[in-house]
Structure 1
Amino acid sequence: MPHDISLITNISVALVVAFAGGLLARRLGLPTIVGYLLAGMLIGPFTPGFVGDIGDISQLAEIGVIFLMFGVGLHFSLKDLWSVRKVAIPGAALQMLLATGLGFGLTRLWGWTTAAGLVVGLAISIASTVVLLRGLIDAGQLNTPAGQTAVGWLVLEDLATVLILVLLPALFGNEGGNPWVTGGLALLKTTAFVLIILFVGGRFLPWLLTSIAHSRSRELFILAAVAVALGTAFAATAAFGVSLALGAFLAGVVLGESEISHQVGDEVLPFREIFAVIFFVSVGMLVNPQYLWDHIGQVVALTALIVVGKAIFTLFLGLILPSTGRTMIVVAAGLSQIGEFSFIVGQAGVGLGVLTQDQYSLVLAGAMFSIMLNPVMFWSIPHVETWLKRYPKLWARFERHATTEPQPTQLPQAEHVVVVGYGRVGEHIGTVLNRLQIPFLVVEADNHRADDFITKHIPTLIGDAANSDVLTHAKLEQAKALVVTLPNEAASELVVAAARDIAPNLPIIARAATTSGVQRLADLGAQDVIHPELEGGLEIIRHTLLHLGYAATQVQGYTDAVRRDQYHTNITPTEHLILEQLIQSVRGFEIAWRSIAASSTMIGQSLAALNIRAQTGASVIAVIRDQQLISNPESQLTLAPGDLLGLIGDKSQISAADALINRSQAGDQAANSPQAGKFAPSAAELLDKTSDLSTSNS
């Protein structure tokens, strides 16, 4: 008896057509959601060819809803919401009321029932989180006051969606009875569930996942995170009769406030992305193209209401809200679309028998076309602003609160270094660049980390450089270099490839996670590729062999041979020789930098008269004077106050030189002891001066 593989068939076909649709959408400059919806239409029952099983795919789509809401909860921030509360709370409430009323009125003109009109009005009042964030990132607006206001506004809409999903079954269910009593009972159950999750789950779930994290098993941690998302959602429905979406959202909220929220988000992300794609495909399968064509007038009218109508009355809410003109233009552009939450509300309406499948198709068509037009709305932001400024009195009304908004950190426009990924490696790079007073710009995908950087006045663009157009706002054409420190090698490759397309001559330094990745990153256009694990291993080998008594030059020759074998880059033999000379001149010897105090008896004496090498065995290889490096100084050079001597030799020779210097500086021995911090220049100075030294030696 053959095995039943219908579920595998449906998953495979859905993901393949979704990939094709998403790729086509990106090539056309459209959001990938449009491609997924079209892919669903292609395998739906209303088009010829393969027809997917709506029942199987809908079950998988429910998992997509759970992970979508879990992700929303993880990124939910009361702090961010509170910072924009004066605009977002009244604005979201008024905008949803107006949109619901207009949608309800439009459907009543078409002769729809009151219940159907109300569900459609609610559905079109809610914008898509996915589309809004992508639009803000691609437009470089996410980390601006306007972008933060739009995100806070949408958080309120997300919360309202949760409430809507709770109340819809109570209002339009078939149980009968007083809807107010039914609604009150539903709210009571929901309140009980929320309190249990926040107070009990808020302590237990973070403790559980933290304990799993300490077990050092990534497999168990991933399993635990997925189990928490699905288990909490199932418990919400089974025990309290509330929606799966609410359970998943609250599970994300309680984990979002814990120290492991970033790790949970990273591990759950692949599940969320895959099942969200299946969710969008399942939505597309419900669209009847023939019905939409036969009712093209209704499609155009509803799309116009979503795109133009919502944008206009959202914009003019700025006349009464304590915001600015620029902020309201960005918010209006971002909210002029509907997406995943509208689908969820619409599906609830279909499940309750309030909406027909054809009526739901109309909502889906409005979502699809509004998402396609949303990039145009973001493109129009500066043009709308210019048009409004032609009417000074109107613009002055919008700008009456202009001074109340905090101004974002100014982003560098030229001669800067772009750092993609500001983890431990990226942060160290930023520290050195800051010491050297070189402007730099951070591109960070994690909102919470990026907010911390912005608070510290670090110029930051929020966005996934491997999955959006955020790099187009980093001014790569005018940058001095791009440093990619992402631990994920696949993401690094996407960033390097995109950057090379944007700025063909830009120096790119990238971090590789594997030895094979070194060659791939170099092929994609990275001039310098660093493999941290290889470098760490070689350094361990070097120290081990030195302790075993092997000669430093032999050890260095071995490690350099390994580097040449592993790094398949385009460095010429001459450059390798210079690099080897520099490394061999530094490693295996004790290099010390010693400052000459103003009271020293060395002041006014020449190097020849001091004859430091004859007395100690250490050689003076350089002198730093007035921030200038004098390499291989002449014997006639006379020392001056503040000179920094570069001494090279083994430990005993350096110790003898220290003793000589101490004897030469009467009364200042303690300050100039070998342990004194004043002898050593900063890491940035050594980096700079060693570079100069290598150039002069070559």
Structure 2
Amino acid sequence: MASLRWRPWRRRPPSTRIRRPWRAPLALVLLVNLAAMGYRLTEGWPWADCYWMVAITISTIGFGEVQPLSPAGRVVTVLLILGGLVVVQISIQGVLGLSESGYFRRLRERRFRRWLKTMQNHVILCGYGRIGREIAEQLTRERVPLLVVEMDHDRRIAAEDRGLPVLMADATLDETLLEAGIHQCRSLVAALSSNAANLYVVLSARGLAPNCRLIARSDSDEAERKLRLAGADQVVSPYVSGGRTMAATALRPLAVTFMDLLAGSDCEVEEFRLSSNPMVLGSLNGMSLGELQLGRRTGALVLAVQPGEAPVAGGLQYRGASYPEQDRTLIANPGSDHRLAPGQMLVVMGSQEQLEQVTSLLGAALESVEQMAG
């Protein structure tokens, strides 16, 4: 029974097991240097002649002796031949067996996981199916750093063929999202084929990173409600979006063509949320868009404005304008007389440089800046 007892000292850590294949090559290097030192001590040759003698002897080429050997030198040669036969054979077998043992694969995985820790402001894409591939194409076209999380081997190969980094892991697990950099990413997209899997991803992500922007895919209205309850900021149904696009193409083909052209340009649309604190908003509180001259100063275009959430006597009061509580939809194409107020969200279109100028212009009055989904 004693032989069945668990002996923890016999188990080797993974790092030790990985380094083991290199012991034979290290032994070969040691043998070469010891043999060269033996010739140096017994024959007094220069180091170049010592190593040359070791090379022609251990490789069995046998060009002949560099100089006549003394009896002590012959002993060194015999030991070198015997040791070389064993060490060289083991070294060759060890090197050839590295690939079969998965050693190089483990090294690549280690380098990849160290690289993951350096990613910042990237998008985590969970799932590389048909929807995920289209999302990846759009983000790659916009030069947005992207990390794909996928469990399927064929989809992983497809993503890597497109030059995308892939984390082969279960996206529903907390440790996977942490490894993917949930705290450093700009947003997470749950595009798995299962509504339940997307729900698990959103629940895990929201619990780990409350401020992370979460976009999820759904196949039904019920799944959409549950995903929003779980914490998804945006829920997209491919069927609903596809139907709306087809209807819009039938009714307003030029508008749809313009949006497609816009998606392929360097223009972006971002949401600029103003601070809900009037003191932080400062001089911008109550200033009109005409007075701000955002378009002239930055070149960007304000597409829409969403009123804030500060209720006053049953309505939302903004110095000079009052919006009913139930009417908090987007105000498209706001005029120059529209006034800024705490909690408002400005939807602005422009190039990356122009949007950065908008950020600088609004300064401390900004509460958040988000790129619009879709």
Normalised by the shorter chain, which TM-score bucket?
0.3 to 0.5
Considering Cα pairs closer than 8 Å and 6+ residues apart, tell me whether 1 or 2 has the greater RCO.
1
Q: Which has the higher strand share?
A: 2
Q: Which has the higher helix share?
A: 1
TM-score w.r.t. structure 1 length?
Answer: 0.24
TM-score w.r.t. structure 2 length?
Answer: 0.43
